[in-house]
Amino acid sequence: MKMKWISKIAYGTGQMLKDLVAGVISIFYIIFYENCISLSSSQVGALLLCGQIANGLATPLIGYLSDRPLSPTKKSTADHQSITCEDESVKKDKRLLNRMKRQLRLGQRKSWHLGGCLLMLIAFPLMFGQPEYLVELPVWAKLLINSMFMICVQVGWAAVQIPHLSIINDLTDQHDERVLLASLRYFFCGIGDMATLLVTYLFFESEKSGLLLLKSVNETDNHVNNSQLFTKSLLTTGTIVESKLVTLFNESINNQSTNVGKQSVVHSEYNITIQDLPIFRNVALIVVGIGVLFTIIFHCGVREDKPKAHQFFTIQSYENAPDEFLEVNGTNNNNRFINGNSVVVSQLKSKRKRTYSLSSTLPWYAWFTLPRFWLSCSTFSIMRLSVTVSVMYMSPFLLNSLKMNKSSMVSVPLVTTISCLIASVGVQRINKLLGNYVSGSN
């Protein structure tokens, strides 16, 4: 059964909150904590390491718990009772209500997804919306508070990402639709990154225009003061006039330098300071608001059906036996479909019988014996490491090394995000042209 397009779009938006949060953290985390929270580079690195450890521990645990098979539930007898004494309008209303309940039902994966969203909704605004008095706390207190924020965000990150990816197999059994859902997932990931960058860019540009306006006003005031001083000097005579002129002129120069110094301390076009805390707070609140909207769309538009009753089969295997000796309920193992469900049978090392559920193709420990599993993990880890390092250290490199303005932290990653977004659109087409084996989807 094919999915409706509205359900496909709703699925693609399910990870928007996580993508928006990830965009802000990956681009601004180091700059924010070094320049606004006054932590050293090693302390910021310790916070990042703490978050990554929490994410690394939570990811396999959440994946196992969200994919754990459930015992079949008994059907309610009320669902099979016929309604004879009610009119047609009441029946229609009840059918609509039952349909809404099925659509909004929280299954295994959607429950974890919702819990992860709630964790990020609580911790992320607290992370980037800290008041100024927290900056004056001791270093150990700042590390303790912010490590808790980081752990909550990373655990919520894993709780959203893993169920959202694994629910694809529950939504459809068609390979082309699964590829399309994965493409939509990464397409909206790029949309989320672009939204984060555009919102931040608008805030930085508005601050820049405010600085230019303040600078022009200060220059106008200084010119007026200098002209008034010069006019007064012409009306006086003698040495007293000369001394007053020198005194007033020196005072005007001192005042001007003091104003410029205060302006550089309060705001700067090229440096992130503690006075930029409201900008990051507003960005975090806007990001959370957009993420909540798309989370509601996902939970209302994607229906997670109840898990089917588990069917069990017996595998009888002989050590080093050929395929014709592997039997599944008396049927040759070459038949890879049983009652419409795909089955992958692994070779056993001794003569014995084992019973597996059709809901899982291999035991979890069997994956570690597959060379393709290690190849995929190594490829993804190398790719992810290069992307993470390049994105997280781009902002400090642009500001501290190249001495560029603050808006460059947004404009440069924006070009990269647009390129990735264009590439994700053509993934399905490239997959069909190159074939499943070449694209790695075999």
Q: What is the DSSP track for 370-390?
A: -HHHHHHHHHHHHHHHHHHHH
pLDDT of 416 higher than 50: yes
φ, ψ (nearest 5 deg) of residue 219: -65, -40
Percentage of residues in the chain with pLDDT exceeding 70? 60
**For position 288, what pLDDT does the model report?**
92
CB 283 within 8 A of CB 199: yes
Percentage of residues in the chain with pLDDT exceeding 90? 16
Map residue 316 onto helix, strand or coil: strand
For the four alpha carbons of 234, 237, 238 and 243, in that order, the dihedral sign comes to: negative
Question: How many Å apart are CA 122 and CA 152, to the nearest integer?
Answer: 9
**For position 318, what pLDDT does the model report?**
40
Kindly write down the DSSP assignment for every residue of 39-103, as one continuous string: --HHHHHHHHHHHHHHHHHHHHHHHHHHTPPPPPPPPPGGGG----SS-HHHHHHHHHHHHHHHH
> Average pLDDT for residues 144-159, to the nearest whole number?
93
**For position 259, what pLDDT does the model report?**
45
β-pair partners for 317:
352
> Average pLDDT for residues 188-200, to the nearest whole number?
82
List, for residues 160-189, the tens digit of each pLDDT value. 999 888 888 888 888 888 888 888 888 888
pLDDT of 346 higher than 50: no
Question: How many Å apart are CA 264 and CA 343, to the nearest integer?
Answer: 67
| pLDDT bucket at 151, cuts 50 / 70 / 90 | very high
CA atoms within 13 A on the CB side of 199: 22
pLDDT of 441 higher than 50: no
CB 8 within 8 A of CB 176: no
Of 16-30, 62-76, 196-210, 334-348, give the range with the top mean pLDDT.
16-30
Locate 147 and state its tokens: 């490590």
**For position 329, what pLDDT does the model report?**
43
> Average pLDDT for residues 277-281, to the nearest whole number?
88
**For position 263, what pLDDT does the model report?**
39
- State the average pLDDT for the chain: 72
Question: How many Å apart are CA 308 and CA 71, to the nearest integer?
Answer: 9
pLDDT of 386 higher than 80: yes
Name the nearest CA neighbour of 135 among 271, 266, 36: 36
